């Protein structure tokens, strides 16, 4: 014997020890770190069971968790494939291996290829094998045995570069992959196989021989006489040959004639104890590598890839920019964001709904950072709040590599077709496709309209039937017999419980109970529930229903609201589960009985059907920005006549996806936190105030930082500049530097900063840059912002530059979240212990600057009624103009000492607040002379033109 044995057992033990040390070190920094290997076996073969036990034991030794799925040979292929699919999707599983061989009739390639490349730790799948064999391929994993062979050579101090190598065997598992790896190490490789003629000639001057042909002692010792004197032999074969001298009747041999070959080579692996242990060690190493990739991705399922912007100057129209950007497939956007395929319901290729199940899966995560974007008192031109939200998200995600979500409302088609235009942002900071975003999305507003109008129809129908029938027939028709059996529906059982009737058999009710159950006796004068339409239509503000002769003279005056002002929309925004939405819909109060008892949606029997109409609408929608960062688009309550915030569910979902493991050290958390940028409509005294006092109460969430968006143009308006109108040329004051006018207008910004500080929240001012601005004007805003108590004021040019233009703002926001705290957050008012009048007065005085509040007789009567009915402990939503801190759109800047008029109060009991209407605010807007819809056309390719 002249050669030396390569001890695979010892080298594999070294590798396993290193893996154990790596895992221990990682867990010292991140206690939650875990690597998990899933093993699927479809047979009862003893050799397969032995190999599986070896892998399970080795994994346990190094600290890798395992999941072992053992199927009998009678299992169908589909059952096994379903299990592979489940493991593929489970983010906790880092590696999946299929123990080969599979039973006869099972397609091995089908199964190995079904494993996702990112989890194919065996390296057998088509993707990884294909990438390995490409010149510049990038496989996720190298096959374990070939990888183990290279490791054996290197740890045995074998210099591979420049050698001649011979690989005998051409399988996809060993032969072809090891040839590719040797070539990658700069060896000149020859591949031989069982059909190679004069195979012995291939050994001349060879330095490395790898044999994986599956034939006992196929390679003879004498073949190495012409090989290099430093020849190294790697024997991959494991064969059984009969041997009567052994107790078991057989012995293991390799593909190489070991005892003769060792006389002529420098190094050789034994069988067993050579390559086998290294294969298992490499399997564990690949699993650890997969787990480390997952940790690096911080909860995402694959690395984020930004969409490049092709910026043009002057900046084209919003719709042109949107159409010129090719969006990513929404399944890819979601996957990058950490959303599993089973949690996604695509609506076409660019938008999808996200299942609420994601909240259960991520329930143990600590939330990411919560950023509220609001603004100063706007002008009719808008000040770029949505644009800032999107631009900041693009900066954080596409440029600073942070996990980020922009959370916005679904826009109403009223403003889209009216005067304001769309709400997708603008310039190079948009949600795309902007036409899909502004029209329909996934139909949530249509579902809201249907649910709202179903209840409206049910109210009038119930009053009609009660007025035309006696108690007995009315009850029989309400609870009809089906196949001779009468039963109460679930919603009827709820009404019975409310009435204190503990009976479940309709035939058991007394006459008095029948009357109480069947007759709601709705007082038409108290009905506040109106029909809705998602369109600006002033002529629906007041209507008369019941004019058809079939209604027998039953008419009443009512009207329409715009769909996004419906209480159903507010309920959608504030619900935190499907069951919560069902309960809230049931609590809707539509008016009172003639005896003064509140009549609810549950009493009418409509809540279950309304929930059915909204069961998909409650799932948040996901879209993307121009630079490919994810956007949750959900709910769309108006901000001047409703709460003006996107949904609680989309915020909670995004905060978990952007969250971190709570066991991490704080320094690591700060590095890994993601950011959720959620928008509140109009200014801080409107959408912002309702966000903090209503939405935060419903969600239990508190923003870490408040961003107030300001523009030079709007602040000049508040400083006394001339009026601006949409579509009209801007006066010269807004096109030229005027720091004096600007400084006066900064009083409005200062008031908003002061308002935010009343909640003990840190404020960052985002100065939305426009081309006519000057550096001196930006400096004025910064000075006045800091003076008023803002943490910082930062110029952002996201409209013209996209995320790149908002990088400074993004860094400022990150810094603010790290250096400030929301722990001292306080609501503006308490809901209990204060009268409705006191709460309204608190908002008017502390937010708007009013001296007094004046209530009309109608409003006072409603307040008295709602207080008597037990609704006085709810928070308040005040509907008012968005163009002034006051109720009067003409009062710019910071009006003081005015009387704030409340003309009506409505009850949104399902949503969970009282709804006060100030001055002449309308709940359905009208259309202007020149409407946005006049510009919209569809070209021959089916693309929409003319939107803005």
Catalytic residue (one of 41, 99, 325, 430): 99
Give the C-alpha separation, 880 to 887, whole Å. Answer: 6
Residue 432 in contact with residue 327, Cβ under 8 Å? yes
Give the pairing of strands 481-482 and 531-533.
unpaired
Residue 66 in contact with residue 37, Cβ under 8 Å? yes
99 noted as active-site residue: yes
- Sign (positive/negative) of CA torsion 859, 863, 866, 871? positive
Catalytic residue (one of 55, 147, 695, 839): 55
119 noted as active-site residue: no
Of 117, 112, 111, 122, the closest CA to residue 146 belongs to 122
Catalytic residue (one of 120, 122, 603, 683): 122
Angstrom CA distances, 38 to 83, 425, 648, stand at: 10, 45, 36
Give the C-alpha separation, 343 to 348, whole Å. Answer: 16
Give the C-alpha separation, 148 to 152, whole Å. Answer: 6
508 noted as active-site residue: no
Give the C-alpha separation, 778 to 780, whole Å. Answer: 5
Name the β-bridge partners of 631.
406, 623
Residue 794 in contact with residue 675, Cβ under 8 Å? no
Contacts of 720 (CB under 8 A, 6+ apart): 741, 744, 745, 892, 893
Give the C-alpha separation, 107 to 362, whole Å. Answer: 36
What is the DSSP code string of 812-876? Answer: HHHHHHHH---TT---SS-SSSS-HHHHHHHHIIIII--SEEEE-HHHHHHHHHHHHTT-TTS-E
- Sign (positive/negative) of CA torsion 43, 45, 46, 47? negative
In this structure, what is the dihedral angle of CA atoms 126, 131, 135, 141, given to the nearest 10 degrees?
Answer: -120
Name the β-bridge partners of 945.
937
Residue 662 in contact with residue 673, Cβ under 8 Å? no
DSSP 664: S
Residue 21 CA from chain centroid, whole number:
36
> 865-904 in b/e burial notation, b at 16+ Cβ within 10 A?
bbeeeebbebbbbbbbbbbbbbbbeebbbbbeebebbbbb
Residue 922 in contact with residue 640, Cβ under 8 Å? no
Q: Is 79 exposed, middle or buried (0-12, 13-18, 19+ CB in 10 A)?
A: exposed
Q: Which two tokens stand for residue 902?
A: 């409340």
Contacts of 694 (CB under 8 A, 6+ apart): 574, 643, 875, 877, 912, 913
Give the pairing of strands 621-625 and 792-796.
unpaired
Q: Is 25 exposed, middle or buried (0-12, 13-18, 19+ CB in 10 A)?
A: exposed
Angstrom CA distances, 7 to 152, 238, 263, 268, 276, stand at: 9, 16, 17, 9, 11
Residue 678 in contact with residue 404, Cβ under 8 Å? no
Contacts of 510 (CB under 8 A, 6+ apart): none
Give the C-alpha separation, 262 to 168, whole Å. Answer: 18
Q: Is 798 exposed, middle or buried (0-12, 13-18, 19+ CB in 10 A)?
A: buried
Residue ranges of E strands in 715-860: 763-768, 792-796, 852-855
The 10 Å Cβ neighbour count of residue 376 is 29
Q: Is 945 exposed, middle or buried (0-12, 13-18, 19+ CB in 10 A)?
A: middle
Name the β-bridge partners of 68.
39
As annotated, the active-site residues are 55, 99, 122
């Amino acid at each position: 014997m002249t050669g030396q044995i390569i001890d695979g057992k010892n080298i594999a033990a070294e590798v396993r020890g290193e893996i154990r040390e790596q895992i221990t070190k990682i867990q010292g920094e991140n206690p939650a770190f875990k690597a998990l290997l899933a093993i699927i076996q479809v047979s009862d073969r003893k050799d397969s069971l032995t190999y599986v036990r070896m892998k399970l034991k080795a994994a346990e030794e190094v600290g890798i968790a395992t999941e072992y799925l053992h199927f009998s040979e009678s299992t169908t292929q589909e059952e096994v494939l379903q299990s592979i699919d489940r493991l593929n999707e489970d983010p906790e599983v880092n590696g999946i291996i299929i123990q080969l061989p599979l039973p006869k009739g099972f397609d091995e390639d089908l199964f190995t290829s079904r494993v996702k490349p990112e989890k194919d730790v065996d390296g057998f799948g088509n993707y990884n094998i294909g990438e390995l064999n490409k010149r510049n391929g990038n496989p996720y994993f190298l096959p374990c045995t070939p990888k183990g062979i290279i490791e054996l050579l290197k740890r045995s101090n074998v210099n591979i570069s420049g050698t001649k190598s011979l690989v005998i065997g051409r399988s996809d598992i060993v032969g072809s992959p090891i040839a590719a790896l040797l070539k990658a190490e700069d060896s000149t490789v020859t591949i031989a196989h069982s059909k190679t003629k004069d195979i012995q000639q291939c050994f001349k001057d060879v330095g490395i021989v790898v044999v994986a042909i599956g034939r006992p002692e196929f390679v003879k010792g004498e073949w190495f006489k012409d090989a290099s004197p430093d020849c190294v032999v790697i024997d991959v074969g494991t064969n059984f040959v009969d041997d009567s001298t052994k107790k078991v009747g057989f012995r293991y041999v390799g593909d190489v004639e070991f005892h003769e070959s060792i006389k002529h080579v420098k190094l050789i692996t034994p069988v067993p104890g050579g390559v086998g242990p290294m294969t298992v060690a490499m399997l564990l190493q690949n699993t650890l590598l997969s787990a480390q990739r997952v940790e690096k991705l911080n909860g995402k399922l694959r690395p984020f890839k930004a969409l490049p912007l092709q910026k043009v100057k002057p900046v084209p129209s919003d719709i042109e920019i949107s159409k010129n950007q090719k969006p990513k497939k929404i399944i890819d956007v979601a996957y990058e964001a950490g959303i599993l395929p089973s949690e996604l319901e695509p609506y076409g290729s660019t938008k999808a709904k996200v299942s609420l199940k994601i909240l259960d899966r991520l329930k143990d995560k600590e939330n990411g950072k919560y950023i509220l974007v609001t603004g100063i008192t706007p002008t009719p031109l808008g000040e770029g709040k949505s644009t800032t939200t999107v631009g900041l998200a693009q900066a954080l995600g596409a440029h600073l590599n942070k996990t980020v979500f922009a959370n916005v409302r679904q826009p109403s088609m009223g403003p889209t077709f009216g005067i304001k235009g769309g709400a997708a942002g603008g310039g190079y900071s948009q949600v795309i496709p902007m036409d899909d975003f502004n029209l329909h999305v996934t139909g949530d507003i249509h579902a809201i309209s249907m649910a709202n109008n179903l209840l409206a129809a049910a109210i009038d129908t119930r009053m009609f039937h009660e007025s035309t029938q006696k108690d007995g027939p009315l009850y029989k028709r309400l609870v009809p017999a089906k196949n001779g059996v009468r039963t109460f529906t679930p919603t009827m059982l709820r009404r019975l419980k409310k009435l204190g009737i503990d009976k479940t058999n309709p035939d058991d009710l007394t006459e008095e109970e029948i009357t109480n159950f069947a007759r709601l006796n709705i007082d038409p004068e108290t009905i506040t529930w109106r029909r809705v339409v998602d369109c600006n239509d002033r002529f629906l503000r007041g209507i008369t229903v019941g004019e058809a002769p079939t209604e027998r003279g039953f008419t009443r005056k009512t009207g329409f609201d715009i769909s996004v002002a419906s209480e159903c929309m507010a309920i959608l925004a504030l619900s935190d589960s499907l069951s919560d939405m069902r309960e809230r819909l049931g609590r809707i109060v539509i008016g009172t009985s003639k005896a003064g008892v509140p009549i609810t949606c549950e009493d009418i029997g409509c809540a279950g059907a309304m929930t059915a109409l909204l069961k998909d609408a409650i799932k948040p929608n996901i879209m993307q920005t121009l630079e490919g960062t994810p956007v949750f688009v959900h709910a769309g309550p108006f901000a001047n006549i409703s709460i003006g915030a996107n949904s609680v569910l989309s915020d909670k979902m995004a905060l978990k996806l952007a969250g971190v493991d709570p066991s991490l050290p704080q320094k690591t958390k700060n590095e890994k936190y993601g950011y959720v940028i959620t928008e509140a409509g109009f200014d801080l005294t409107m959408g912002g105030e309702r966000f903090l006092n209503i939405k935060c109460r419903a969600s239990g969430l508190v923003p870490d930082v408040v961003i107030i968006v300001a523009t030079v143009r709007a602040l000049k308006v508040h400083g006394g500049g001339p009026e601006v109108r949409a579509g009209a040329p801007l006066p010269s004051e807004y096109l030229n530097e005027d720091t004096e006018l600007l400084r006066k207008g900064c009083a409005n910004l200062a008031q908003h900063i002061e308002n935010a500080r009343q909640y003990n929240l840190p404020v960052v001012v985002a100065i939305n840059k426009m081309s006519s601005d000057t550096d001196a004007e930006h400096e004025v805003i910064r000075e006045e912002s800091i003076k008023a108590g803002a943490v910082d004021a930062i110029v952002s040019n996201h409209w013209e530059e996209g995320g790149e233009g908002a990088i400074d703002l993004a860094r400022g926001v990150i810094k603010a979240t790290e250096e400030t705290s929301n722990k001292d957050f306080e609501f503006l008012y308490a809901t209990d212990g204060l009268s409705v009048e006191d709460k309204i007065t608190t908002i008017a005085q502390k937010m708007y600057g009013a001296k007094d509040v004046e209530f009309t007789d109608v409003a006072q009567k409603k307040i008295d009624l709602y207080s008597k009915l037990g609704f006085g402990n709810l928070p308040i939503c005040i509907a008012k103009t968005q163009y002034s801190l006051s109720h009067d759109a003409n009062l710019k800047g910071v009006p003081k000492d005015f009387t704030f008029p409340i003309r009506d109060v409505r009850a949104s009991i399902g949503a969970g607040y009282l709804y006060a209407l100030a001055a002449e605010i309308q709940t359905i807007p009208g259309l202007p002379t020149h409407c946005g819809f006049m510009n919209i056309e569809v070209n021959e390719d089916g693309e929409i033109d003319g939107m803005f």
